[in-house]
Structure 1
Amino acid sequence: MGAVAPGGTVAACKWVSVVLGERATVSGAILLNCYSCGKTIAVLNAAAITEMRTAAMSALAMSFLARPESRSVGFVGVGAQAAAHLLHIQSALPGLTEIVCVGRSTDSARRFAEFATKSGVRARPADGPEEAIGCDIIVSTVPHDTSKPPFLDADLVRPGATVCAVDLGRPWIGSTMDRFDAVYTDDLSQAATPENAVKMRYQGPYLGDLSDLASGHLPGRTGNERILFQFPGFALGDAILSDLVFRNARAHKIGQRVRF
């Protein structure tokens, strides 16, 4: 993923490696370059930045797309992205009171529930994904595994509920995706590129993106719709956040200087 920050101050490129299997891992680095001279000015660990950027974008989307009176969130997948999304969505919707979660194992779901409880909500492991899908907001962060077929059924999403498909929608059953009344993404132009579109379960069209919502061009939720927010990742968000991290690190003399 690559992007140039507004004003042409920095350019960023994120290199990501994905290892599939039972212990799926995602790791990467962000190269931050001076836009005017092209020199690399920083190399940053992509994990924390990606977690923050992704969860912040989702929380922004939920502030427009979720019902204001939403009280419950169902998490399908309980890894690092789920933890980041819990904290950010809580900041956008402080009225949340209940967390239901399901992971690869009962132990991982239990640990996530314990983590969620510390944030001041009731939390418990779900009996299965169907129970999580029955919540007001559903956040799916299932690691990609080509050996397992899609298992999340959009037929079970209640009217008025909002799905945040952090995992590109891959665990959702394709034949049920037309149950959603409205689908939004982070950036329309980026989601429409062939390399991004082919990765995502829902292939479009999209009603709008975050800029449409934040600018007021589109109102977001207007009634009892079933809404899906599915997105490939906003490269510009990585660039801006990386620049902010770099500037703060330099101001506080954090990090290690390396000569190229």
Structure 2
Amino acid sequence: MTVLVLDAAQVHQLLTPEAALHAMREALAALAHDEVHQPLRMIVRPPAAAGLMGVMPSYRSGHEAAYGLKAVCVFPDNPTIGKDAHQGAVLLFSAATGELQALMNASAITEVRTAAVSAIATDLLARPDAGDLAVIGTGVQGRAHLRAMAGVRTLRRVRVVGRDPARTEAFAAEAAALLSLSVQACSSVAEAVDGADLIVTATTSAEPVLRRNWISPGAHINAVGSSVPTAREIDTATMAEASLFVDRRESTLNESGDYLFAAREGAIGPDQIRAELGAVLIGAAPGRTDDNEITLFKSLGLAVEDLVAADHLYREAQRHGTGTWVSF
């Protein structure tokens, strides 16, 4: 038996933003059509450790049947030393024999697929004329979301903000080169989101970074940074007033700090969730209903997204002769 190994550079080569959009639409539709078996992720959080480990298994049935498993460590302080907060691997297994088929860099897959799902949410939920973008967070996901947002909306203005002013300035310069337009580095979140109709929160903060009174009518928010019950980026007032869309309802009710903090404060309940994104994608649920409502997509990241991305990468690596094949 041989196993494919793909490093980060090879993942980026094969999982282009366009390919990721197609794969994530496929993953979300499969979930909406009940073709996915996906337990809640298991979190290993040792009391004195610097980070945590998440274990995310999934199975997809049908013609593209496969098993997948992502094991990822999340170290929130990694960006301060120039590393992605997410470190780990995605494993792909044959649905026919259970044999291991591939081992792939999880940081790169997470980076690309997360931004692609936000792009799908933006395409489905943001106003068609939205183009004033604010990105909160200057790490890997902030960078990936700049490109993803530009792929689904024509950007007129871009503002970015992070914890470190020097890093924010450098990030703005990098973004300007990437997007071929002017990008403003802001000194506060309030300044960055003033008048914005597209907002991305991609931070490692445990406390809210976005406040309701800063958000303009009709804005669409992609809340990406928090994926654990103990951290949130969005304040309670925003969670209560926004039209809330999620990648998966069960995951949100059990794993989303943005949701759970607001629920414990009595501001929202399960009925606040308008729909899963896959249901909107396949036409089973409505999206935005008017130009003035604030729509919010709470992204947790799903194991099926990693599985479908890995399956795509496996087939593309075979087709292009990319990667390292090792005996196992």
TM-score w.r.t. structure 2 length?
Answer: 0.72
CA contact under 8 A between 1:155 and 1:179: conserved in structure 2? no
1:183 aligns with 2:244: yes
| 1:175 CA displacement | 4.8
| Distance in 1 (alpha carbons) for counterparts of 2:262 and 2:106 | 26
* 1:87-123 CA distance string (max 9 Å, x none): 1111111x21111000121122112211221212321
Alignment partner, residue 222 of structure 1: 289
Runs of 4+ in 1 over 6 A off after TM superposition: none
CA contact under 8 A between 1:4 and 1:12: conserved in structure 2? yes
| 1:217 CA displacement | 2.4
1:120-135 aligned within 5 A: 120-134=180-194, 135=196
1:1-260 aligned within 5 A: 1-7=56-62, 9-21=65-77, 23=80, 25-93=85-153, 95-118=154-177, 119-134=179-194, 135-145=196-206, 149-168=207-226, 170-180=232-242, 182-192=243-253, 194=254, 196-197=255-256, 200=259, 201=261, 203=263, 204=270, 205-223=272-290, 224-260=292-328
SS at the partner of 2:273? coil
Greater Cα shift, 198-207 or 83-92: 198-207
SS at the partner of 1:254? coil
SS at the partner of 1:229? strand
* 1:20-68 CA distance string (max 9 Å, x none): 3373722110011111111111100011111111111110111111111
- Name the one with the larger helix percent: 2
SS at the partner of 2:326? coil
SS at the partner of 2:149? helix
Cα RMSD, aligned residues only: 2.0
SS at the partner of 2:112? helix
| Distance in 2 (alpha carbons) for counterparts of 1:64 and 1:39 | 37
Number of residue pairs matched by the alignment:
253
| Distance in 2 (alpha carbons) for counterparts of 1:88 and 1:131 | 22
CA contact under 8 A between 2:247 and 2:277: conserved in structure 1? yes
| Distance in 1 (alpha carbons) for counterparts of 2:209 and 2:136 | 11
Structure 1 gap segments, 5+ residues each: none
| 1:131 CA displacement | 1.5
| Distance in 1 (alpha carbons) for counterparts of 2:262 and 2:225 | 12
